Amino acid sequence: MNEDGFHFTFEAAITLLLAISLVAALHFPGPENIDSLLIKQKQHDLLSVWILARNFNAEEMAGDFRFVFPQSQGFIEIDGEKVFIGEQSGEISVETAAFVGEDLKLREIAVGVYR
């Protein structure tokens, strides 16, 4: 009987599969960016300035938010009361700060930015 053709052993098939899977699994690292750090720094700036200025007028704080993040949406929270700025969707970065108010009670403010 004449049997022409290739005969693969189990090991050869495994080797081929390994080679193909290795090529398929290769990927290059994407460029890293530190945008999230920039956003966090600016959130901290807002919280620091608000605490330094000791003026917790929600409208003025919303204006500050728009000034610092003109392209972004988010919210400001003062003692549990939230002021929403723009559409609330996406991945959010929230930073909070606590301080002692004039009534000597611990108060908390937060700022959230959607990325």
Partner 1 sequence: MRNNGILFSTDLIVAFIAVSTIALMIVFVYSGYFGAVSDNVKAFSRDREAIFFMDYLVKTSSNELPAIGAAFFDTEKKRVVGNLLDKEALKDYTKEIGQLELEHWVVKGIFLEYENGNKDWIFGGREEGCVIYERFVLMNGAVMEKAKIGAVFCE
The residues of the shown chain that bind partner 1, judged by CB under 8 A, are 6-9, 11-12, 15-16, 18-19, 22-23, 26, 28-29, 31-34, 37-38, 41-42, 45-46, 48-49, 52-53, 63-64, 67-68
The nearer residue to partner 1, 53 or 94, going by C-beta atoms, is: 53
* Element housing 93 (H / E): strand 92-100
Query: Could you give the CA distance from residue 58 to residue 83 in angstroms, rounded to a whole number?
Result: 7
Residue 51 CB, nearest approach to partner 1 (Å): 9
CB closer to partner 1, 65 vs 75: 65
Sort 13 into a burial class: Cβ within 10 Å, 0-12 / 13-18 / 19+.
Answer: exposed
Distance, in Å, from the CA atom of 38 to the CA atom of 44, rounded to the nearest integer, reads 10
Cβ closest to partner 1, residue 5 vs residue 80: 5
